[in-house]
Each structure stands twice: as structure tokens, then as C-alpha cells.
Amino acid sequence: MKKILNDPNQVLQDMTEGLAAAYPNELKQLSGTTVIAKKDAPIANKVGIVSGGGSGHEPAHAGYVGKGMLDAAVAGEVFTSPAPDQVFEAIKAADSGSGVLLVIKNYTGDVLNFEMAQELAEAEGITVDKVIVKDDVAAGDQPSRRGIAGTIFVHKIAGAKAEKGRSLEEVKAAAEKTIQNVRSMGMALSPCTVPAAGEPSFQLDENEMEIGIGIHGESGIERKEIATANDIANELTEKVLNDFDFTGEAAVMVNGLGSTPEMELYIVNKKVQAILAEKGINVYKTFVGEYMTSLEMAGCSVTLLKLDDELKTLLDEPSHAPAFRI
Amino acid sequence: MKKILNDPNQVLQDMTEGLAAAYPNELKQLSGTTVIAKKDAPIANKVGIVSGGGSGHEPAHAGYVGKGMLDAAVAGEVFTSPAPDQVFEAIKAADSGSGVLLVIKNYTGDVLNFEMAQELAEAEGITVDKVIVKDDVAAGDQPSRRGIAGTIFVHKIAGAKAEKGRSLEEVKAAAEKTIQNVRSMGMALSPCTVPAAGEPSFQLDENEMEIGIGIHGESGIERKEIATANDIANELTEKVLNDFDFTGEAAVMVNGLGSTPEMELYIVNKKVQAILAEKGINVYKTFVGEYMTSLEMAGCSVTLLKLDDELKTLLDEPSHAPAFRI
């Protein structure tokens, strides 16, 4: 394992402190926690938006804290759900009395711990609601699907709606519409290594790739010979298109999983755009970069979000989050 | 070599087309070239800013094309200087009659080819001047030093000055001040592989790191046993601080070279900030992420830019470039 670390068991604290230290005018770390919040949170008369999960997905989620997106993000150990008391601290930091929406990726631990935190908060009189993101078309029926890169669009849309001073119910409805309209599919050329484990979570031969991997070092649904960028773009995009009717306008995200050069993401994007043009899907906005990573995994995912007028407007609203400035 | 590519000899064209396709409302690729320019370039009554170099450093340089930064960027093959005729096309695209400033990284091929392009442009009556960035303190005396991540600050400052409608002479002076005030130092845990070569440019054992690497797969100035993040941050920052008097205010960039997880960059940043606080250097703004990469090299660099009131103001001006939105 070659990593730039101090102590493999100290990465969560080192990372959150280093992130807060990078943006001292915009973010704060809640003392004694792994919660990063807006410097001026809670914001009066605004629904608070809270997300989080295991670390190792940077810039998710703390990089998305800022005006127009999240009010607070809570990080667990690498690929491990944050404990309910930490999520509870994030909720308290985000609540100004207008209620808090939790954006949860669909993993058993995350759902359980965020729901326990919701109960703790409600017991103290805070109004909390939640949405669960399940955009990964790789495996399973919709209710059991994982949340991956599409989660960033949910942050953006919910954050923009909340910024407009809308009610918790209205913010939740916009987030739910986003979840209904977003699909993702990923692949990897190499696995990743959790620092405290010291060994990669699976092995791939020099000529192999894995289709349908998750973002927690899980192996995928199919292992096959490595294909061209065009074939990879085609396979990922087709799986997404076959799962939902994207006729009309869409936003595209070509997301790097950690160690894929941006050059390669642009090569994939070229083909994704060509496929969508051929299908008559109008691309309103494209995002290429590392948005939801899996440590140093090599690979990428393709996300499509079907847009209507409301979602387009909300997508275009300003965001001041360090990792998503518009 | 595991990469997401179509043809190793076609990466430059595929990449530039994929990049232009991602930002069709903001950028355009000049037909038959590898030049990416602002959609609305040339901008009337504004000095044009042009940069570029070999590809493999994405988002450098095309990701920095946009209002407030570059007017055009020209890309060569991977780690190879763009030909003079391509640079000439970029100059023509950027010139509105107010003149063009070339921001060149200090490599023999880049300097030669950009200067030849300058001559071609001047022969057609375009006023062109240049600055040469040499921020890498790793090796050699100042005149022979390489240009690395500090180049991004030169783009930002020159771009902001040009945006204010200042003369070519004034824009050049701001760029030169930035170059005088910026220093960088890098290290790697792993080499990178040029697609057309198919093999890594050097080898490192499992317990080794390389200090003072360049961004073109060059090996470094010293190979040693891999150290902690704190020791690495200390070594890079001390080398930078020993080369220039940063007393006062500074901007910091902790730059990932391609496959280093953002988590690790934040861990390095924590220590860099602690060192600077201890030295009494006030950090005005911090940038953590992948700004000047070397394909999938694992490692990072630390850049400091000493700021005065003019540079602070210019650093804070808006930028709409895809890879540097402020």
C-alpha cells in the first residue's frame, strides 16, 4: 500500500481537519466531531440540507458544503457509515428552525444511522425528513440499488431549492424528483485499498476490467477483457438509457473514481455525447471530473439526470461549495 | 498499461474533442487544430492570454480557458510541445487587436515553439509578448527551472488583469510579479505511463518515494524511503520556504498529480497550514485538488504564492474557466 498518510487509523480526523483548514472563511469543523458545516450555519429561515457517509469519496461530501448546496456533511471512517450521534450533530448544526432534509445514499448502514439520528433530533423538537438516493443501475431492483455519483445532483437541486427559502416539503419534493430522474453506471480498471486494511479489496488482471463496481471497493457484476474507451462509454451509457426514458433534456456527469486521468474522462465524454446526440437527447449541461471517488480506484461512472424546467433552473443557481462552484 | 483509451496515438484529438463537447456554450475547438478557445474569443479591447504545452496535465491548460483566465490553450501530444503553427492559431484566436500575452512553462521545446509562433504572429502584425514560468525549486538555478503548478496562478492573475482592460505591458507586469513570487516543489509515490510508450518512465519500489519529480514523468532529485504525510509536507514546504521570503500573506496550492486521493491531499494540507502558521505566514486562500497533473502519477506538489494587495485583488476576481471557477 503506497499512500500519503500519517497513521492509517487517523485518516478521518487528519482529512477533515485538513479540509476545514483549506476553507476557513467558508467552512467550520464542529469541535470533537467529523462534521463539516457552513461557517455561518444554521441559516435563518432556510431548510438545512445534511448529507454524508463513509469517507474515501472526496470531495464527497464535505466539498459540497456551501451556499447553494449542503449546510453540513458528516464523514465516517473510510467506507463506513458515520455513527448516529455524529449525524445528529450535523442536523443540529444545520437546523435554524425551518427543518432539515437528510440526503442519504442507499446503504444499509447509512440508512440505519441517519434514521437513528433523525429520531434523536425529532426527540429534541427538530423537524427532519429524508430522501434516499439509489441511482446505480448496476445491480438489483430499484428499491435495493446503491447511491453513487447521482447523489451530487440531489445535493445541488435540494440545496438550490432550500436557498430559495422554500419549505421542507417543497425541498424534499425537488430532491425526490431528482432521485426519480437520475441513473448512473460505473466500471473500474483497478481496485482501491482502504488504509486500515492495507490490501486491495479485489484483484484484476492486467487485461481485465470490472463493470458495475460500487464506490466502496465492492467488486462489480461482470468481469471482462478491457475494452476501448468508446466501448466502455457505450456499455455504461446504454445501461443507463435502458433503465429510464431520458427523452428530452439531460445533464451528464462523467465521474472519475480516483486515479483515472482527466484526459481519459474527456475521451469517454466524447463518446457519451455522441451517443446522446444520436438518440436525440439534448445535453443541457455536462460535468467531467472527480465528484464521487472511491479512494484511488481507476475507472469512471456515467450519470444522466433528466431535466425539466424546474430542475434546469435549480441546476443553474449559484453554488459556492468548494467542489462545485457555479 | 491499463487506460481508458481508443487508440494510444489518438488521445490528443479524442481528449480535446471530448473537452470541447463538455462545455459547448463556453469553449470551442478551432477546426483542424488542438486549440481550445473561449466561445466568444477574441474579446474586443482585451489583451488575449494564451498558454499551453504537452497534454497529460489536464485540467491544464484547456480547463483554464474562460472569462477571467485564458482566451485560448494549445495542446501538444502527451508531454510534447505543441508545434509553432498550432500556437500561432491560438494567438490568432485570442487577438482582438489589443495584443496577446503568452504564458509559457520553462521547457526548451515549449519556449522554442511558442517563440517561433510569436514571430509568425508578429510577421502578421499581431503584438505578442511572453512570460516564462519557472516555479519548480527542485532542481537547478532559477533561470533553468521548470514551470509546474505555479503556472495556474500566473493564468489567474494575468487573466484577471486582462479582464480589467489593462494594456499588454500592464498585464505582463502582473504576470511577471506572480512569477517572481511563486515557488513549487513536488514528490511522487509512483510514475506514470505515456499512452504511446506503454511503459512507465521510471520504477519505484513498494517502499520508495521520489522527491523533486517533474510533471513529465522525469524522475526526481532524490529517492528515499516513503515517509509520513507530515514529513512529506514538511520537506516540500521547507524547500519552498528556503527559496524565497514568504513573510506576509500567501496563497497555497496543494496539487494532486493524478492518482492521489483527495483525502491524502487534505492530510498534506493540514500539515502545510500548520507549518505556515508556525512561521507567521498568513494564508489568504488555499487551493486543494488536481490543477496540474502528470497523467496517473501518484504524488503531490506544494505551491506558495506571496501576495500583495494587487495580487490579492486579482486572485479574487471572478473566473468562469471550467477548472477554476471563483
Q: Could you report the per-residue pLDDT of B4-17, keeping only the tens digit for each?
A: 999 999 999 999 99
Option in A16, A254, A263 nearest B11 (CB): A263
Option in B16, B230, B286 nearest A6 (CB): B230
What is the maximum alpha-carbon separation in chain B? 56
Determine, for residues A293 and B264 on separate chains, whether the beta-carbon distance falls below 8 Å.
no
Determine, for residues B267 and A56 on separate chains, whether the beta-carbon distance falls below 8 Å.
no
Q: What is the number of residues in chain B?
A: 326
Q: Which residue of A has its CA nearest to B21?
A: A270
- Reading phi first (left if > 0) and then psi (alpha if -120 to 50, else beta), residue A5 is in beta
**Min distance B295 CA to chain A CA atoms (Å):** 5
CB A187 within 8 A of CB A232: yes
pLDDT of residue B51: 98
- Reading phi first (left if > 0) and then psi (alpha if -120 to 50, else beta), residue B221 is in alpha
Q: Inform me whether the pLDDT recorded for B248 exceeds 80.
A: yes
Determine, for residues A286 and B23 on separate chains, whether the beta-carbon distance falls below 8 Å.
yes
**Min distance A242 CA to chain B CA atoms (Å):** 23
Which residues in chain B are contacts of A23 at CB distance < 8 A?
286
Buried/exposed code over B175-188 (b: 16+ C-beta within 10 A; e: otherwise): bebbbebbbbbbbb
**Min distance B44 CA to chain A CA atoms (Å):** 25
pLDDT of residue B219: 80
Top residue of B266, B290, B320 to mutate, by most chain A CBs within 10 Å, is B266
CB B323 within 8 A of CB B36: no
Top residue of A266, A272, A315, A317 to mutate, by most chain B CBs within 10 Å, is A266
Option in B6, B287, B296 nearest A267 (CB): B6
Cis peptide before B155 (omega within 30 of 0): no
Q: Within 13 Å, how many C-alpha atoms sit on residue A77's CB side?
A: 10
- Reading phi first (left if > 0) and then psi (alpha if -120 to 50, else beta), residue B269 is in alpha
Neighbour count for residue B44 (Cβ, 10 Å): 8
pLDDT of residue B143: 81
Which residues in chain A are contacts of B286 at CB distance < 8 A?
21-23
Q: Domain B181-315: which CATH class?
A: alpha beta
Q: Which residue of B has its CA nearest to A252?
A: B22
Which residues in chain A are contacts of B288 at CB distance < 8 A?
18-19, 22
Determine, for residues A2 and B206 on separate chains, whether the beta-carbon distance falls below 8 Å.
yes
pLDDT of residue A137: 96
Q: Which residue of A has its CA nearest to B208?
A: A2
Which residue type sits at B202? F
The DSSP bridge pattern shows strands B282-289 and B249-256 to be: parallel
Give me the average pLDDT of each 10-residue run along chain A (326 residues).
95 98 98 97 98 98 98 98 98 98 97 98 98 93 90 98 98 98 97 94 92 87 96 98 97 97 98 98 98 97 98 98 94
pLDDT digits over B161-207, tens only?
999 999 999 999 999 999 999 999 999 999 999 999 999 988 999 99
Least confident of A140-149, B84-93, B124-133, B250-259: A140-149
B155 is an active site residue: no
Structural domain boundaries in chain B: 11-180, 181-315
CA distance B15 to B198: 18
Question: What are φ and ψ of residue B51, in 5° steps?
Answer: -140, -175
pLDDT of residue A142: 78
Which residue type sits at A139? A
Determine, for residues B4 and A268 on separate chains, whether the beta-carbon distance falls below 8 Å.
yes
Percent of chain B topping pLDDT 70: 100
Which residues in chain B are contacts of A300 at CB distance < 8 A?
4
pLDDT digits over A49-95, tens only?
999 999 999 999 999 999 999 999 999 999 999 999 999 999 999 99
CA distance A315 to A287: 12
Q: Which residue of A has its CA nearest to B8?
A: A228
Pick the CATH number of B11-180 from 1.10.4160.10, 1.10.3720.10, 3.40.50.10440, 3.30.830.10: 3.40.50.10440
CA distance B113 to B13: 20
The DSSP bridge pattern shows strands A249-256 and A298-307 to be: antiparallel
CA distance B161 to A208: 49
pLDDT of residue A192: 94
Determine, for residues A264 and B300 on separate chains, whether the beta-carbon distance falls below 8 Å.
no
CB B146 within 8 A of CB B175: no
DSSP H/E element including B238: helix B229-241
Which residues in chain A are contacts of B269 at CB distance < 8 A?
18-19, 21-22
Which residues in chain B are contacts of A234 at CB distance < 8 A?
none
From residue B109, give the alpha-carbon distance in Å to each of A22, A206, B44, B128, B197: 36, 34, 31, 19, 19
Label each residue of B98-116 as H, E or C. Answer: CCEEEEEECCHHHHHHHHH
| Marked catalytic residue, from B57, B61, B155, B320 | B57
To the question of pTM greater than 0.95 for the whole model, the response is: yes
pLDDT digits over A4-37, tens only?
999 999 999 999 999 999 999 999 999 999 999 9
Look at the block and give the residue holding cell 482501491: A192
CA distance A309 to B314: 36
ipTM of the complex: 0.97
Which residues in chain A are contacts of B55 at CB distance < 8 A?
263
Q: Inform me whether the pLDDT recorded for B61 exceeds 90.
A: yes
| Marked catalytic residue, from A61, A155, A216, A320 | A216
DSSP H/E element including B52: strand B48-55
Q: Which residue of B has its CA nearest to A18?
A: B270
pLDDT of residue A139: 79
A57 is an active site residue: yes
Option in A17, A262, A325 nearest B58 (CB): A262
Residue from A258, A315, A310, A243 nearest A284 by CA: A315
End-to-end, the C-alpha distance of chain A in Å comes to 36
The DSSP bridge pattern shows strands B249-256 and B208-211 to be: unpaired
**Min distance B292 CA to chain A CA atoms (Å):** 11
